[in-house]
A and B are shown apart, each in its own frame.
Chain A
Amino acid sequence: MIQRNVMPWAWTDTLLAQVFHGSLPAARCDGDAPAQTSRGTTMTDFSVPDFSAPDPPSRRSCRMAAAQAGDATAYADLLRECVPIIAAVARRCGVPADRVDDAVQDVLLTVHRARASYDPRRPFDAWLRVIAERRSIDLLRRQRRQGGREFHAPFAVENTVDMAADPGRGLDEAEAAGQIGRAVAALPSRQREAVHHLVFEERSLADAAQATGRSVGSLKVNLHRALKALRHKLGGEN
């Protein structure tokens, strides 16, 4: 369908390309034969880009062309170079300072998804700026819509009563711990020893037996007696 090197077609194609794209070409990368761009009809192969291109905009165009061919290093370098440009556009569009990073990330993702549609004959910076502008405006619009649903009301938050909260709970817990501590302290020494090792330190019977030098049976009996005494004492008080 698309015939190349046929004069009337080439002429029409160039004319249409001018209407759509404006002036051609933008950057010249290494491996880009002059005849190809001057014809303006063939999508040239920018397969071996020249990263030492003299000016940063041309270098970015070349890097994007390399990224299209799959060069991840050139791509990462390009995206890093894009960050300040995008941030400047976002700020100029009125994106608040705390949302500029969101705009940058959004534009980086958009560039990634739209990378096949970049034409290296056109300046990369202009392409990036239009995308950054449009995404910034979209971000502001989303923010405005969200702003219509949410509102900032610090006093309302402060004055709202949390029905589940119980200010006395902490005190009660401390009080109970104190009671238990006193009751345990009042136990006979062997029972206190059994409670200390088996309950507070959560040791196994064997470990506790080794640590105290008592038999397992003795520990069991003393723990049993201690729990009985505590239950009687605390339950009686309550």
Chain B
Amino acid sequence: MPQTTNDPGPHDALIGRLAADLTPVRRLSPPHRQALAWLAAVAAAAIVLAALADIATMAARLAAASDLWLAVVGEVATMVLAAFAAFALGRPDASRAWALAPLPALVLWLAATGAGCLRDWVVPGTADIPPMEEARECLTFILAVSIPLSALMIFMLRRSLSLQPGLTAAMAGLAAAAAAATLLNFFHPFDATATDLAVHTGAVLLVVVASRRLGAKRIGNISAPV
């Protein structure tokens, strides 16, 4: 056995203890497969919600404004990229650069929603300003859908020890919030507006922060007893 540069003597006790503690482990499936599994769960939720929603109205609404399409593309891309980033960051040897992956999609999402607001501002009357009641419904929907999706992802991440748990949990929150925003399109009764942008941004921030605060301990608990 090559022990050339360092005497492992002082660590023999720990190594003995770890070896004695060794139990066979089931190898984790690769991060991209975990991400696909989570996206499949979102797709299943989408199918259920699509059955309940008025698809024709949604299609007509999306066809009427191109920036709405862009916003949907941004939401879906944010969801997919954040999910891949979260599962990649869940591994101890992951690069922090994964956290940058969903940013372009996030910019597209917010910019397209913002463009909707701008168009409404430039050409008044093209959209109904939604009452606060509906905005609150949207916020409730995003939170209600995000929480189980975020919890599912953090549950799937529980066995992979992340050395950057805060970042990983934040990515999980972003993926869940983007998924919720995507699913909200089935029921969105109004056009992109300032209220909409504020509600979306606020909900995403809320979910990301909550996920980070609540999830980080569950996926990066290095100091737990061996």
Contact = CB atoms under 8 A, between A and B. Distances in A.
A79 B224 CA distance: 20
Contact of B226 (A69, A113, A135): A113
Given A2-B33, A117-B160, 17 more contacts: A2-B37, A16-B32, A20-B31, A20-B32, A43-B30, A70-B22, A76-B16, A81-B1, A83-B11, A84-B3, A84-B8, A101-B10, A110-B222, A113-B226, A116-B25, A131-B92, A131-B163
B48 interface: no
B141 to A, nearest CB: 26
Contacts of B36: 2, 16
B107 to A, nearest CB: 21
B222 A113 contact: yes
B124 interface: no
B93 interface: yes
A11 interface: no
21 contacts: A2-B36, A16-B36, A17-B32, A20-B30, A20-B88, A69-B24, A72-B22, A75-B19, A79-B15, A84-B3, A105-B14, A108-B11, A109-B226, A113-B226, A116-B27, A117-B90, A117-B160, A127-B93, A131-B93, A134-B164, A138-B163
Given A17-B32, A76-B19, A80-B3, A116 B93 contact: no
A56 interface: yes
B25 to A, nearest CB: 4
A112 B226 contact: yes
Interface in A52-71: 56, 67-71
A88 interface: yes
Contacts, number: 129
Contacts of B23: 70
B1 A77 contact: yes
A7 interface: no
Given A80-B8, A105-B14, A117 B20 contact: no
Given A109-B226, A110-B222, A114-B161, A75 B22 contact: yes
A87 B25 CA distance: 27
| Interface secondary structure of B, over-half rule | loop
A21 interface: yes
Given A1-B37, A127-B93, A113 B22 contact: no
A131 B93 CA distance: 6
B18 to A, nearest CB: 5
B26 A17 contact: no
B163 A110 contact: yes
Contact of B24 (A68, A73, A81, A127): A68
A13 B93 CA distance: 21
Interface string A1-36: 110000000000100110111000000000000000
B212 interface: no
Interface in B154-190: 159-161, 163-164
B3 A116 contact: no
Contacts of B31: 20
Query: Do most interface residues of chain A lie in helix, strand or loop, or is the interface mixed?
Result: helix
B202 to A, nearest CB: 32
For chain B, which range describes its interface: under 10, 10 to 19, 20 to 34, or 35 or more residues? 35 or more
A116 B1 contact: no
B163 A135 contact: yes
A77 B22 CA distance: 13
A167 to B, nearest CB: 41
B8 A119 contact: no
A75 to B, nearest CB: 5
A109 B222 contact: yes
A110 B2 contact: no
Interface in A120-139: 120, 126-127, 130-131, 134-135, 138
Nearest to B41: A1
A104 interface: yes
B15 to A, nearest CB: 5
A105 B25 contact: no
B6 A87 contact: yes
A39 interface: no
A108 to B, nearest CB: 6
B40 interface: yes
Question: What 6 A-B pairs are tightest by C-beta distance, nearest first?
Answer: A70-B24, A16-B32, A130-B93, A84-B6, A76-B19, A114-B161
